[in-house]
Amino acid sequence: MPPVSSDDLMRYLDGEMAPEERAKVDAELAASTELRRELAIFRALKSDFQQLSFHPAQYRESVWDRVNQRVTRPIGWILLAMGATAWTSYGAYVLATAPTNPWEKLATGAIAIGILTLLASVIWERYREWQNDPYRDVHR
């Protein structure tokens, strides 16, 4: 029978072996002090790990609120953008087809375009600032 390899020893230790394979390793263990010693060291390490178990949920808040905010926010933005686009398009159509003085149309259109341009520039500026913010990953 070939000697027990290090991989076999790990599979034996972790209960990942079929019963017939285990029986072969048991036989080798009975015959080899060195193998028993090595297994005992790994078993001791495994046992030490059992003492490391801890329950972090007992003294901290769930991350769900933060996760929820992040996963639902894009849906809000998409709905807002869709609504804004629909209303802007409808407003532009109503303005263009309304039987009013062309100067009134031009003035109203200029105000609307001005507001949209300012809004876009503010959003762009904030985005650039956010990209260069060294603290953007800091949540607390």
Partner 1 sequence: MQPDLERQLIRKCKAGDARFYEPLVRAYEPAGLRLAVAMMGNNEDAEDALQEAFIKTFDTLHRFDLQKPFGPWFFQILRNQCRDLLRSRKAKFKVEALDEKLDHRPADRERGPERSHERSAAREMLWQGLERIGTEHREILVLKELEGFRYTEIAQILEIPEGTVASRLYHARHALRDALVEMNPEFPQ
Q: Kindly list the residues in this chain that would bind partner 1 in the complex (CB under 8 A).
A: 6-11, 14, 16, 40-42, 44-46, 48-57, 59-60, 62-64, 66-68, 70-72, 75, 137, 139-140
Looking at beta carbons only, is 71 or 96 nearer to partner 1? 71
Closest CA to 109 of 93, 92, 90: 92
* Minimum CB distance to partner 1, residue 42 (Å): 6
* Minimum CB distance to partner 1, residue 61 (Å): 9
* Minimum CB distance to partner 1, residue 35 (Å): 13
Looking at beta carbons only, is 10 or 115 nearer to partner 1? 10
Phi/psi of residue 62, nearest 5 degrees: -70, 150
Which structure tokens are listed for 4? 């027990």
Q: Cα separation of 76 and 82, whole Å? A: 10
Looking at beta carbons only, is 56 or 99 nearer to partner 1? 56
Looking at beta carbons only, is 9 or 112 nearer to partner 1? 9
* Minimum CB distance to partner 1, residue 30 (Å): 21
* Minimum CB distance to partner 1, residue 123 (Å): 23
Looking at beta carbons only, is 2 or 56 nearer to partner 1? 56
